[in-house]
Amino acid sequence: MSDQDFSGIPLNMLPSGPAEPLPPWITGVVQTSVGSVSRIATTWDRNDRRGEIKARISDRARMAYTIKPGLLAVGNPTAESPVLLSANYKLSFDILRRELAGIDAWILVLDTQGINVWCAAGKGTFGTDEIIRRVRDAGLEKLVSHHKIISPQLGAPGIKSHLVKKATGFRVKFGPVEARDIRYYLENGEKVTPAMRQVTFDIKARTVLVPFELSIVMKKSWLVLLGIPVFFGLMPQGILFHQAFSIGLPVLMLFLAAVLTGAALTPILLPWIPFPSFTIKGFLLGLLPVGMVHYLTGIYATPFDSLYLLGASYLAFPALSGYLAFNFTGCSTFTSPSGVTKELRILLKVYAVLLPVAVVLLICYKLQIWGIL
């Protein structure tokens, strides 16, 4: 079947425009009692790998990296083949289909608004109502004979199994946490081992998330990057390039160091930094660049020989690192909703004191440079 041959493809899987090619991961159709169902590939091509990279480094690309919800076929499934649930975030879907090579199965893709299974379960889009809707739309009761649906373990928070069964007659079973275990699970009587239930968040998993976190921060930081040289170059006679460079550049480097420690180093080193609070972890690491500058000030002539600027730096930059580290709570298995809520309340109170003091110290520094203070 060519890229432009849409014959037999279910309407919900067709491209939205006549000039848009058929997704390359759709390789054909399976004729069933409920109509034509698209058959999908279990291998990745260049576009899939490129899409993964974009989704991991760009929030815009990530939110647009979706597929249309609905029923799909892997291999040559029958009425006895398993039905697996997936989010319509394409990277989640791609990881699942890659693990199903040589397996005959049905995949029921839920509309999670482009969010992965775990986060969508927390928001309720990978949940009871959406499952009921998709089961009915797909005519699943006419397609399979076993009346079982297999959900990823991480989808459990959003699913009330008894309500799904009451509304559709299908029982939701929870499979392994990781897609890489799905083959073993299916080939061994759909039994989950204790290891399959464990959620791991090792250094590799944390590091993979860092580029995305950094891209979000840097996209929102361009005003700060421009504003720092302007602020420190501002003198009574105008904006002086020498001041902007000699003072603004070191402060700019501290800002970038704070971003790196909060959005990159803290997530990577997470288990080894003292204290359970993400904010404190980030704040502690954020002290290191400022402390290094403080140390160098005792050896070389730097703008930080002003106690006002040094004090503002000790408050502002570790606070920024702590805030960025706190943002990582949404990606981590090290937290709970109640713990995040508690930490946020404390964070707001502390920052309501730290940041105004830092601003006052910066103003005092400018007045000192201008010879007023």
Secondary structure of the chain in HEC code, one letter for each residue: CCCCCCCCCCHHHCCCCCCCCCCCCEEEEEEECCEEEEEECCCCCHHHHHHHHHHHHCHHHHHHCECCCEEEEECCCCCCCCEEEECCEHHHHHHHHHCCCCCCEEEEECCCCCCCHHHHHHHCCCCHHHHHHHHHHHCHHHHCCCCEEEECHHHHHHCCHHHHHHHHCCEEEECCCCHHHHHHHHHCCCCCCHHHHCCCCCHHHHHHHHHHHHHHHHHCCHHHHHHHHHHHHEECCEECHHHHHHCHHHHHHHHHHHHHHHHHHHHHCHHHCCCCCHHHHHHHHHHHHHHHHHHHHCCCCCHHHCHHHHHHHHHHHHHHHHHHHHHHHHHCCCCCHHHHHHHHHHHHHHHHHHHHHHHHHHHHHHHHHCCCC
Q: What is the pLDDT of residue 199?
A: 80
Q: What's the pLDDT at 1?
A: 36
What is the pTM for the complete model shown?
0.76
Domains (range + CATH), the chain: 11-197 (3.40.50.11600), 203-369 (no CATH)
Q: What is the pLDDT of residue 6?
A: 42
pLDDT of the chain, 373 residues: tens digit per residue: 334 444 455 545 555 555 467 889 999 999 999 899 999 999 999 999 999 999 988 888 888 999 999 999 999 999 999 999 999 999 999 999 999 999 999 999 999 999 989 888 877 889 999 999 999 999 999 999 999 999 999 999 899 999 999 999 999 999 999 999 999 999 999 999 998 988 877 898 889 889 888 988 988 899 999 999 999 999 988 888 888 888 888 899 999 999 999 999 999 999 999 998 999 999 999 999 999 988 887 666 667 788 999 999 999 999 999 999 998 886 666 666 677 788 889 889 999 999 999 999 999 999 999 988 7
What is residue 231's predicted lDDT score, i.e. its pLDDT?
A: 92
